[in-house]
């Protein structure tokens, strides 16, 4: 850090002496570029290469570190800024919706297995309908057989 300050002072002195002359030394621009590059690399090392500090901040935000709980953070993140390992917390409505869907799926599985009250009632109703249909089919067969027998008797 001190080294850079010394180079700045030296360049300033060279600039003052050169400013009075009509021609500027050709090496001055190269030295100036090297100093700027050294300053950039040093500032990156000090900041740890973090992108947050390099962003321009208004007012005293760059000087004072504050955590404002009322500050609304942007919800839309760019793909490069998304942390894949971080799990996002769902809102209450989203959690309730997911719980509702899971409960419905569980209920439907139980219904398929016949373990719910409604499915038992449906199965009982279905069994009664099947029994009634079987009785009706048996009755029709008997009536058909009776008609056949009457036809045979009338022909004799």
Query: DSSP states of 35-100 as a string?
Result: HHHHHHHHHHHHHTT-HHHHS---GGGGTS----TTPPPPS---GGG--SSSPPPPPHHHHHHHHH
The confidence band for 137, taking pLDDT boundaries of 50, 70 and 90, is very high
> With 70 as the cut, is the pLDDT of residue 135 above it?
yes
Q: Which residue has the higher pLDDT, 125 or 4?
A: 125
pLDDT of residue 49: 46
> With 90 as the cut, is the pLDDT of residue 11 above it?
no
pLDDT in tens, 73-132: 766 767 676 666 666 678 899 999 999 999 999 999 998 888 888 888 998 999 999 999
Q: With beta carbons less than 8 A apart as the criterion, state whether 18 and 25 touch.
A: yes
pLDDT in tens, 32-84: 677 677 777 666 655 554 445 446 667 776 677 777 777 777 667 676 766 66
Task: Give dist(CA 110, CA 4) in Å, integer.
Answer: 76
pLDDT of residue 37: 76
The arithmetic mean of pLDDT across residues 13-18, rounded, is: 54
pLDDT of residue 34: 73
Task: Give dist(CA 31, CA 22) in Å, integer.
Answer: 19
Task: Give dist(CA 29, CA 25) in Å, integer.
Answer: 8
Q: Helix 2-19 and helix 27-47: axis angle, to 10°? A: 150
Radius of gyration of the chain (CA): 45
pLDDT of residue 145: 94
């Amino acid at each position: 850090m001190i080294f850079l300050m010394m180079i700045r002072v030296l360049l300033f002195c060279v600039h003052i002496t050169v400013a009075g002359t009509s021609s500027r030394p050709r090496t001055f621009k190269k030295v100036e570029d090297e100093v700027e590059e050294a300053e950039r690399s040093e500032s990156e090392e000090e900041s740890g290469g973090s992108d947050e500090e390099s962003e321009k901040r208004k007012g005293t935000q760059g000087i004072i570190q504050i955590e404002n709980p009322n500050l609304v953070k942007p919800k839309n993140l760019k793909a490069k800024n998304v942390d894949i390992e971080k799990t996002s917390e769902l809102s209450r409505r989203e959690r309730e919706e997911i719980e509702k869907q899971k409960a419905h799926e569980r209920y439907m599985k139980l219904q398929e297995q016949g373990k719910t009250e409604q499915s038992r009632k449906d199965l009982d109703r279905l069994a009664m309908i099947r029994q009634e249909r079987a009785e009706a089919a048996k009755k029709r067969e008997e009536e058909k057989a009776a008609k056949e027998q009457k036809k045979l008797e009338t022909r004799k």
